[in-house]
Structure 1
């Protein structure tokens, strides 16, 4: 792109951009307001430093040429910042930066939309910091360890797909299960946002797709402005919450199975449903190939920048020829990404196998029961009767769950096309 008002005399407004050293010769350059970050060489960080000091484009080019011994296209660099979403054209031309107008929908740049941060992101850090201190994390880990011990001691506590049905009425069971699961999913994401707020990072909640699953996702792009060590707590916060809920669901059933307490049968089944939900969520987060919470932890720990795409393309080229653009991505990939991808691809393939197993052992059996019951009711019940409408409702529910990931995939592809245009 070319910005008509940007020339040698311009003084781009870059003072609001964050510059942080990431590696020996790499720097993270980003705009915390829009959540957009890029990695630049040391020369790029020096360029921003000079612009922030008030130098014009021509002065910066002259200083850098003297320091580096070769010419630097400052105008092209500033235009790149605009394309990356770190600056808008007014800021590039030297106007005072205002409120962030737009941000990319995700790392692939799928369309643009107004920045809308949830109220939770405005919570002062001191309010939520106790939830993520040493004592809190000791509690979270303790809940997970205690739960694993109870699972080992009593295998009957392990979940089964049948646990999704709390009562004999399938429609009511699915209603209860889905309301509870969705409610816990929202709190899971809010816990990510709380941890982000504790670290001083704003957040945004959105609907996304991971493989065949429809998921809620907390956008914490601002974490990339923080040192790696400060990112782990927000990344793991959702799993910490899930571990507490899992412990709360397993402990009463463990005590009940040993006759220590008395529980109503419906409560036992409800707790079993919670166990199924939370085990599924925690297992899902370990599927790094879907860019889940554990993927972010692993990418941060290894210092990778584009591990998922590099791994996917390295596997894809074994099956069919890559496009010129894909070949260029692999050719220009960071050395760390290429090195880690050699073993990460094993986790990638294992994740695909796990998802297939989960579908065969949980999704399809549950769908078979649901659709079988619905079809039986619709055939046997009088048309327009209560049970007939229950069957219709179940079919609609199943269709929504099956088609939601496809709808989101189409939405993302359309946004990508609009962004490319």
Structure 2
């Protein structure tokens, strides 16, 4: 699962006294900034800190002029001559400073916060540049096509839930399934990391939560500055890996004898590789396909803006005084406004359905399994019974505990402003 920082990134905590005075003759030295045009705006960001903002054309031009060494007054004069409008460069420099884009104002060097940690820091872009080669989508497509052809000829190879029960020993099925599932999940995230690193984006893999789901996610903030083909490659690489593994397993499965242990294991692996794919369509949980949708619609923060509009619609429905603040989507460009309003419906319906399913099915089943496992411990249940119970407690209980710890840690990090 991918994760990126919205373009309207939160500035670093600063106060006016933290920085030297800015007068018309002041020159500023900017950090290395990347710039990319996006429709009617420009994305400007600093890869080292993974901070990115959307600016109008005048803002991007001001960054260019300041970067060339022009003073504040000369920059304002140039912008006035080019656009015919006044531009407050002094305030603009203060905004850039708050974002951490300014290295020096006049003769004073500004403090620079430590960059966020990256996963596998020794993996350099030139090590994995091959991941962006155009031949890879062709290979994935060919492998997937071959698997579909085989499946059409032999529909009996299509797996179902019974294929996961490849052994009569429940504890063995549970432990092996958990190990294989987490291995595939890590490989999925490594695919995101590798493709993003090939573009020059550091990337960081970590645990996260999406509603009731414990997920592994890769922060690839900075991919916004890459060309669209590279962005789409980074977003879709995890799904491509799952489909490639599933296709390869299906082809091998077709060559094995039914009823053998190898056939049963391959069928279970095939199902485990395919299981995460439907989850990606739950775009209301900011899955990989959510970022594809956000990119294609040209929205800056589809989830955040959709959530804000949903709250406004609810307050208006219940006639809350808070609705007087107005519709937040009216501040968006027309193409974003339409996408945000449609997405807000998907967000509300999808979230409600997920939480209802958790309350009605997932939570009662988890509680029942955990209670049964706890009761199954003891000398009177024998070695096999204790092993099964212990496996359930370790795997299922461990996942639930890990969800709570991850949710609490990430919540504290967001409140503290930590990366």
Which deviates more, 292-301 or 193-202?
Answer: 193-202
What is the aligned partner in structure 2 of residue 186 from structure 1?
A: 186
Q: Aligned ranges for residues 2-13 of structure 1 at < 5 Å? A: 2=16, 3-8=18-23, 9-13=25-29
Contact 2:283 2:290 in 1 (8 A): yes
Q: Which residue of 2 aligns with 1:34?
A: 49
The alpha carbon displacement at 1:73 in A equals 2.8
* Distance (Å, rounded) in 2 between the aligned partners of 1:224 and 1:281: 25
- For 1:119, the equivalent position in structure 2 comes to 121
In the TM superposition, what is the alpha-carbon distance from 1:393 to its structure 2 partner? 5.1
CA offset digits 1:170-213 (Å, max 9, x no partner): 33322211111111111111112222233333322222222222
CA distance 1:51–1:219, change in 2 (3 Å): same
Aligned to 1:314: 309
Q: Which runs of 5+ in 2 are unaligned?
A: 1-14
1:140 maps to what in 2? 140
Match of 2:373 in 1: 374
Residues 1:339 and 2:338 aligned together: yes
Structure 1 117/371 Cα, relative in aligned 2: closer, same or farther at 3 Å?
Answer: closer
Contact 1:29 1:37 in 2 (8 A): yes
Give TM-score scaled by structure 2 length.
0.80
Describe how 1:187-202 pairs up with structure 2 within 5 A: 187-202=187-202
2: CA distance between counterparts of 1:299 and 1:220?
15
1:419 corresponds in structure 2 to 417
Which of 53, 73, 76 is the equivalent residue of 2:68? 53
Tell me which residue corresponds to 1:209: 209
The secondary structure found in structure 2 opposite 1:214 is strand
CA distance in 2, matches of 1:81, 1:199: 25
RMSD across aligned C-alpha pairs, in angstroms?
A: 3.6
Deviations 1:260-310 (A, max 9, x none): 632564333322332332222111122222111111112212211121222
* Contact 1:201 1:223 survives alignment (8 Å): yes
1:399 aligns to what SS in structure 2? helix
1:152-163 aligned at under 5 Å gives the runs 157-163=157-163
Q: TM-score, normalised by structure 1?
A: 0.80
Quote how far apart the aligned CAs of 1:31 are: 0.6
1:262 maps to which of 257, 260, 265 = 257
Residue 172 of structure 2 corresponds to 172
Deviates more, 1:182-191 or 1:128-137: 128-137
Matched length: 398
Contact 2:42 2:60 in 1 (8 A): yes
Report what 1:87 is aligned to: 101
- Residue by residue, what CA displacement relative to the aligned partner does 1:20-43 show, whole Å, maximum 9, x if unpaired? 22123x111111222211001111
Query: Are 1:292 and 2:287 matched, yes or no?
Result: yes
**How far apart are residue 151 of structure 1 and its match?**
5.1
> Residue 171 of structure 2 contacts residue 387 of structure 2 at CA under 8 Å; is this kept in 1?
no
- Relative to structure 1, is the Cα distance of residues 15 and 318 closer, same or farther in structure 2, using a 3 angstrom cutoff? closer
